[in-house]
Amino acid sequence: MRLRSEYDREIVRLALPALGALAAEPLYLLVDTAIVGHLGRSQLAALGIAAVVLGGWFAIFNFLQYATTAQVARAAGAGEAETARRLGAQALWLALVLGVAVAVFVAAAAQPLVSLMGGDGTTADYAVTYMRIAVIGLPAAFIALGASGYLRGVSDLRTPLLIVVAGNAVNVVLEVLFVYGFDWGIRGSAWGTAAAQLGMGVAFVVVVLRALRPGEARLELGLTRRLLSLGKWILVRTTSLMLSFVLAGAVATRFGDAAIAAHQVAFQLWIFLALVLDSVAIAGQIIVGRELGAGRPDRAYDASVRMITLSVATGALFAVLLLALADVLPRLFSSDAEVLAECAALWPIFALLQPVSGAVFALDGILIGASDGPYIAGSMVVAFVACTACLGLAVAEDWGVRGVWAALAVLILVRAVTMGARFARRRWLVTGWA
């Protein structure tokens, strides 16, 4: 691997603030958990249920961010600055409509959604209460996705980071005030979250509208359809990925408490490490979209090769550290002998997956930046089917938690092979805006 590249400075310049914004989301949930956790077991369990439901909707609709970034970067690279700004306005309109629709649905279906998650009794009541208050901020959270997608597309990652950090700080203050100062309990946590999200939404709208010229903020269905033309494929990709993770968790549960506990330890560490790799993928979306829009396929390809190399090297470093700390890291989460034994069983697979995961994250960002939506979705569906088949075999053959992680390895490997083949053939190097 070359130690230096002409693309390194820009990759780092884009990836670092992206990493900060990505890291803010788990920190947000961590603060909520710490505050609500002192209210009691039922309240904490209720927050867990609500977080899964609301977080699931948020993750599924992250295409608002990714599709906007790719399309805006391509337009900006092609010299279509006005089109890029108008796309930013359409992202706000689309996010508002979808956010309101999802919020109304979740509020109306809160009870059955909580029941579907296994909530009952007092825990279910708390979860329903939390969700029906928290959804007030959901449209604003969707707007933040669309707006940050636009800002990323014009290579402004500093502003989203500042808004998210400020929103998190406000959330801490409001939750402490509402939960403990006003003694609102879990309702206070929900109101604090909703208020912080509304504030962030307003801040993002102000930033985007300031960048627009007169008449550019109006709704334009043609450009909205352009965002959806890529967004619908990213929706398929994200949904398939989430279903894979849900099924893996469900199968791990079948092997007992120790197995699901070990799976949770490894999975949460995997999510944490994925933040670093995903930040490089975001840089890929921006650079590839811009270079292809400007009609520079060779530079798009060369920059992509560098990003893949850096991601794989980072993943390899993670693998070395995980293997070296195989007896240490699990003990930070549990001292139970059975849980530690299950961790030891899955750990080699988990660790050795990191370099491949690095390649997959980079390739995903590159192909999203190239607006290669149908292929991204198709490769993810193929990987989901292969993972599901392996999970079924793990149950039938009683492979335990090691079988669950073997299935996740199949998921990652299939994605690496299919997207790697697409990258090598260079059919994704489609230039220009039109």
What is the tens place of the pLDDT at every residue in 97-111?
999 999 999 999 999
Q: Using 50, 70 and 90 to split pLDDT, how confident is the model at 265? A: confident
Name the strand (E) or helix (H) holding 113. Answer: helix 110-116
Phi/psi of residue 295, each to 5°?
A: 75, 30
Q: Is the pLDDT score of 222 beyond 70? A: yes
Residue 330 is assigned to a structural domain of this protein: yes
Q: Provide the pLDDT for residue 2.
A: 63
Tell me the average pLDDT across 350-379: 96
The pLDDT of 315-325, averaged and rounded, is 96
Is 230 a member of any domain? no
- More confident site: 433 or 299: 299
**Which of 49-53, 130-134, 213-217 shows the lowest per-residue confidence on average (mean pLDDT)?**
49-53
Q: Please indicate, yes or no, if residue 74 is contained in any of the structural domains.
A: yes
Are 343 and 266 in contact by the 8 Å Cβ rule? The answer is yes
> Is the predicted pLDDT of residue 1 greater than 70, yes or no?
no
Residue at 42 is within a domain: yes
What is the rounded average pLDDT of the residues 395-415? 95
One domain, residues 215 and 254: no
Average pLDDT estimate for 268-275: 86
What span, in angstroms and rounded, lies between the C-alpha atoms of 131 and 110? 7
Pair (249, 205) in one structural domain = no
Whether residues 411 and 263 share a domain: the answer is yes
Confidence of residue 268 (pLDDT cuts 50, 70, 90): confident
pLDDT, residue 250, reads 84
Report the b/e string of 132-153 with b at 16+ CB within 10 A: bbbbbbbbbbbbbbbbbbbbbb
Give the number of domains in the chain. Answer: 2
Q: Are residues 176 and 307 in the same domain?
A: no
Q: What is the pLDDT of residue 151?
A: 96
211 and 319 inside one domain: no
pLDDT-derived band at 56 (thresholds 50, 70, 90) equals confident
Residue 183 lies in a domain: yes
Most confident of 47-56, 194-203, 336-345: 194-203
- Whether 318 and 412 map to the same domain: the answer is yes
CA distance 239 to 124: 25
Do 12 and 153 sit in the same domain of this protein?
A: yes
Of 219, 248, 278, the domain-final residue: 219
Alpha carbons 362 and 283: distance in angstroms, whole number: 9
Share of the chain above pLDDT 90, in %: 72
Question: Which among 399, 359, 407 has a CA at the least distance from the CA of 383?
Answer: 407
Judge whether 290 lies within some domain: yes
220: nearest Cα among 33, 343, 87, 388:
87
Residue 374, both tokens = 């149908």
In a domain, 182, yes or no: yes
Q: Do 283 and 189 share a structural domain?
A: no
pLDDT at 236: 95
Q: Which of 434, 433, 152, 428 has the alpha carbon at shortest distance from 297?
A: 428
Indicate if 122 and 252 belong to the same structural domain.
Answer: no
Of 187, 219, 251, the one marking the end of a domain is: 219
Measure the CA–CA gap between 88 and 149, rounded to whole angstroms.
8
Q: Which domain holds residue 241?
A: 237-425
Band the pLDDT of 258: cuts 50, 70, 90. Answer: confident
Looking at 193, 219, 245, which one is the last position of a domain?
219
Q: Burial letters for 247-262: b for 16+ Cβ neighbours within 10 Å, e otherwise?
A: bbeebbeebeebbbbb
User: Considering the domain boundaries, does residue 405 fall inside one?
Assistant: yes
For residue 353, give the 3-state DSSP assignment: coil
pLDDT the model gives residue 216: 94
Q: Kindly give, in sequence order, each residue whose CB lies less than 8 Å from that of residue 65, ignoring residues fewer than 6 positions away.
A: 145, 146, 148, 149, 152
CB-side exposure of 14: number of CA atoms within 13 Å? Answer: 25
Question: How confident is the model over 303-309, as a mean pLDDT?
Answer: 95
User: Is residue 132 domain-shared with residue 269, that is, in the same domain?
Assistant: no
Question: Do residues 215 and 241 both lie within one domain?
Answer: no
Least confident of 191-205, 225-239, 257-271, 281-295: 257-271
Task: Judge contact between 233 and 226, C-beta under 8 A.
Answer: no
pLDDT digits (tens, 9 = 90+) for 118-169: 778 888 899 999 999 999 999 999 999 999 999 999 999 999 999 999 998 9
Angle, in degrees to the nearest 10, between helices 400-425 and 257-293: 10
Length of the chain: 434
Whole-number pLDDT of residue 308: 96
Residue 199: the pLDDT is: 96
Cβ neighbour number for residue 183 with a 10 Å cutoff: 9
Q: Predicted confidence band at 4 (pLDDT cuts at 50, 70, 90)?
A: confident
Q: Are residues 215 and 278 in the same domain?
A: no
